[in-house]
């Protein structure tokens, strides 16, 4: 039996449940490739799935469970009927989400439809910081809200993983971008292309922002509540499901304001990853890494992630 190193949980709880151990190495099935993972992205959903049986992820699987969804690495074996990739290809993606993808490991298998060739201009670490956050931004503002050139979007939390990609993608599309962030990140989000930056420690955004075409809410709670005050009647708020009560709050407020409310659930897309790879290689999209940790130090990355003040993304290197 071939084995590999991985970070696995045998119980739910604090970061001490993360175990760096030897486990069985998977084999690619039909329509899959085996990827030697070089780096794995860390997302809030990873930490939530570690703490308790999250309905969309870990509640579907028995323990033990290998966390993580974002990968960047090299194709080392092909399953039957695979012609889209070749051994040696550098790839990246978010395989299988919300099912178990086992990104926190030396090797994992990935359906060919869920991955794409890695951008040539990005390192493995940078590429691993892209998939879940960038796909969430892309699908929220393009697939769900259909943002168009000339429209105005308000993005709460512009310096975070999803937010910092959403700013860049909206500007690439030709939209005007308004965002909030803390004092230390004002220049960061401005450099990403934000047209109007509101320091939420100094001003309440609802007193500044009016009549936008779309809101991308990455914060929830009171930020979501006040977001309904700034959208044009009949337009849309897209919110992310990582915060408790967001769906219920949005559903309650939407009819009162005449606003469409959608709770976004990201899904894998190798096609969209390929489109974004072109943007990275053309210099139109960038990823910012706030921290890089060895795989065995996943607990440190989770602790920083749960702080809620990460600029851009965190990743794990897999040696």
Largest CA distance in the chain: 62
How far does Cα 296 stand from its chain's mean position? 21
For the chain, the distance separating the N- and C-terminal CA atoms, rounded to the nearest angstrom, is 21
Residue 244, pLDDT > 80, answer no
Residue 224 covered by a domain: yes
Please list, residue by residue across 171-203, b when 16 or more beta carbons sit within 10 angstroms of its beta carbon and e when fewer do.
bebebbbbbbbbeebbebbbebebeebbebeee
pLDDT in tens, 70-129: 999 999 999 999 999 999 999 999 999 999 999 999 999 999 999 999 999 999 999 999
What is the DSSP code string of 67-113? ----EEEEEEEE-TT--S--TT-EEEE-TTTTS----SBSEEEEEGG
Q: According to the model, what pLDDT value does residue 241 have?
A: 76
In terms of domains, do 110 and 172 share one? no
In terms of domains, do 50 and 169 share one? no
Radius of gyration (C-alpha) of the chain in whole angstroms: 19
Separation CA 284–CA 276 (nearest Å)? 9
The CATH number for 219's domain is 3.40.50.720
Residue 13, pLDDT > 90, answer yes
Element (H, E) at 238: strand 231-239
Look over the chain and give the mean of its residue pLDDT values, rounded to a whole number: 96
Domain that holds residue 63: 3-130+287-317
In terms of domains, do 71 and 152 share one? no
To the question of pTM greater than 0.75 for the whole model, the response is yes
In terms of domains, do 63 and 105 share one? yes
In terms of domains, do 169 and 147 share one? yes
Q: Please name which of 53, 73, 62, 45 lies closest in space to residue 302, comparing C-alpha atoms.
A: 45
pLDDT in tens, 146-157: 999 999 999 999
Please list, residue by residue across 80-90, b when 16 or more beta carbons sit within 10 angstroms of its beta carbon and e when fewer do.
eebebbeeebb
In terms of domains, do 116 and 143 share one? no
pLDDT in tens, 20-42: 999 999 999 999 999 999 999 99
Residue 282 covered by a domain: no
pLDDT in tens, 178-233: 999 999 999 999 999 999 999 999 999 999 999 999 999 999 989 999 999 999 99
Separation CA 64–CA 198 (nearest Å)? 44
């Amino acid at each position: 039996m071939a084995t590999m190193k991985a970070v696995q949980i045998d119980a739910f709880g604090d970061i001490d449940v993360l175990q760096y151990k030897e486990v069985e190495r998977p084999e690619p099935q039909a329509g899959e490739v085996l990827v030697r993972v070089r780096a794995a992205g860390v997302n809030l959903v990873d930490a939530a799935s570690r703490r308790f049986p999250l309905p969309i992820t870990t509640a579907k699987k028995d323990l033990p469970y290998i966390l993580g969804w974002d990968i960047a690495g090299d194709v080392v074996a092909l399953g039957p009927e695979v012609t889209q990739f070749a051994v040696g290809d550098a790839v990246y993606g978010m395989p299988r989400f919300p099912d178990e993808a086992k990104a926190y490991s030396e090797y994992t298998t990935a359906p060919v439809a869920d991955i794409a060739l890695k951008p040539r201009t990005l390192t493995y670490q940078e590429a691993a910081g892209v998939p879940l956050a960038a796909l969430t931004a892309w699908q929220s503002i393009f697939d769900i809200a259909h943002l168009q050139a000339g429209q105005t979007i308000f993005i709460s939390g512009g310096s975070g993983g999803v937010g910092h990609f959403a700013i860049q993608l909206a500007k690439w599309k030709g939209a005007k971008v308004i965002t909030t962030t803390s004092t230390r990140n004002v220049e960061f989000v401005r450099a990403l292309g934000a047209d109007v930056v509101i320091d939420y420690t100094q001003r309440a955004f609802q007193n500044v922002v009016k009549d936008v075409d779309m809101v991308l809410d990455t914060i929830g709670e009171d930020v979501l509540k006040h977001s309904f005050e700034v959208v044009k009647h009949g337009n849309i708020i897209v919110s992310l499901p990582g915060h408790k009560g967001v769906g219920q709050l949005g559903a309650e407020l939407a009819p009162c304001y005449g606003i469409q409310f959608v709770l976004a659930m990201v899904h894998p897309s190798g096609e969209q990853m390929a489109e974004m790879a072109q943007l990275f290689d053309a210099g139109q999209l960038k990823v910012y890494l706030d921290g890089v940790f060895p795989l065995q130090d996943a607990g440190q990355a989770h602790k920083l992630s749960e702080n809620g003040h990460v600029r851009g993304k965190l990743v794990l290197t897999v040696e």
